[in-house]
């Protein structure tokens, strides 16, 4: 079994100076971290890499150095599950379809992790789990600050959101 820490929209330093300690605690025993973009600065990646191996994409608010290091989308296989990772774009209307379209020319993942909206969300559509871990630093658009944990065991998976105070 593998445990993944899912995070997005950290927006450091514009929303906070650094990653909140509850995020570090929540990710303490994860095997891997997936960041769905909007780091803003590359220093966030360094902090997360000290916790666990990091797979990440850039977002629309990332500085050039982040966009140079991380792609706009990627896929990673964990156990027997293919996971797509992208930031997302636009408003809530049509959001899932835009996220899914990022992978239309690829082998379609069983799980797609995205961000952008800052709103924690998990929804199964077309046999794909779409999961947005929310934002641990900004709740302008969301009711609370969150990250998510995703447990994968062979072909089965389970997720939960973790509130960040």
Query: Does the model's pTM come out above 0.85?
Result: yes
Query: In terms of CATH architecture, what is 2-163?
Result: 4-Layer Sandwich (3.60)
Average pLDDT over every residue of 106-111:
92
pLDDT digits (tens, 9 = 90+) for 139-162: 878 889 999 999 999 999 999 999
Q: What is the CA radius of gyration of the chain?
A: 14
Tell me the C-alpha distance between 5 and 37, whole Å: 14
pLDDT digits (tens, 9 = 90+) for 3-48: 999 999 999 998 889 999 999 999 999 999 999 999 888 899 999 9
Domain locations along the chain = 2-163
DSSP 14: T
| Residue closest to 131 by CA, chosen among 108, 146, 114 | 114
pLDDT digits (tens, 9 = 90+) for 121-145: 999 998 999 999 999 998 878 889 9
Tell me the C-alpha distance between 87 and 97, whole Å: 13
């Amino acid at each position: 079994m593998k445990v993944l820490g899912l995070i997005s929209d950290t927006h450091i330093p514009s929303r906070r100076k650094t990653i909140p300690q509850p995020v570090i605690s929540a990710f303490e025993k994860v095997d891997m971290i997936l960041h769905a973009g909007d780091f803003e600065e590359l220093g966030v990646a360094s902090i997360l890499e000290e916790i666990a191996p990091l797979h990440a994409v850039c977002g629309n608010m990332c500085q050039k150095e982040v966009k140079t290091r991380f792609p706009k989308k990627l896929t990673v296989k964990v156990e027997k599950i293919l996971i797509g990772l992208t930031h997302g774009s636009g408003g809530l209307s049509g959001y899932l379809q835009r996220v899914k379209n990022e992978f239309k020319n690829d082998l379609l993942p069983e799980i797609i992790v995205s961000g952008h909206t800052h709103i924690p969300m998990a929804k199964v559509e077309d046999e794909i789990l779409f999961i947005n871990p929310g934002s641990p630093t900004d709740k302008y658009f969301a009711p609370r600050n969150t990250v998510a944990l995703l447990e994968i065991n062979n072909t089965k998976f389970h997720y939960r959101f973790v509130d960040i105070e």
